Amino acid sequence: MGLELYLDMLSQPCRAVSIFAKKNGIPFKLCTTEVFKGQHLSKEFFQINSLRRVPTLKDGDFILTESSAILIYLSSKYQTADHWYPSDLRARARVHEYLGWHADCIRGTFGVPLWTQVMAPLIGVHVPEEKVQRNKTFMDLALQQLEEKFLGDRAFVAGQQVSLADLMALEELLQETRGPILNILEQAVNKKVPTPPPEVHPCMLLRISRIP
Query: How do residues 101-146 score in pLDDT, each as one tens digit?
Result: 999 889 889 888 888 888 898 889 999 999 999 999 999 999 999 9
pLDDT at 94 over 90: yes
Is residue 51 very low, low, confident or very high in pLDDT (cuts 50, 70, 90)? very high
The CA distances from residue 132 to 85, 109, 114, 145, 175, in Å, are: 36, 11, 11, 20, 26
Q: Is the dihedral of CA 19, 25, 26, 30 positive or negative?
A: positive
Which residues of the chain are in CATH 1.20.1050.10 domains? 89-209
Q: 176 pLDDT band (50/70/90 cuts)? A: very low
Q: What is the separation of C-alpha 62 from the centre of its chain, rounded to a whole number of angstroms?
A: 21
Higher-scoring residue by pLDDT: 170, 169:
169
Return the pLDDT at 114. Answer: 83
Q: CATH 3.40.30.10 region(s) of the chain?
A: 3-77
Mean pLDDT score across all residues of the chain: 89
3-class DSSP assignment, residue 102: helix
43 vs 7: CA distance, rounded Å: 17
Architecture of domain 89-209: Up-down Bundle (1.20)
Helix axes 67-77, 12-23, angle to 10 degrees: 10
Q: What are phi and psi for residue 85, nearest 5 degrees?
A: -140, 85
The domain made up of 3-77 has a fold known as: Glutaredoxin (3.40.30)
**Strand ranges in 45-137 using DSSP code E only, listed in sequence order:** 56-59, 62-65
User: What is the pLDDT, as a whole number, of residue 175?
Assistant: 43
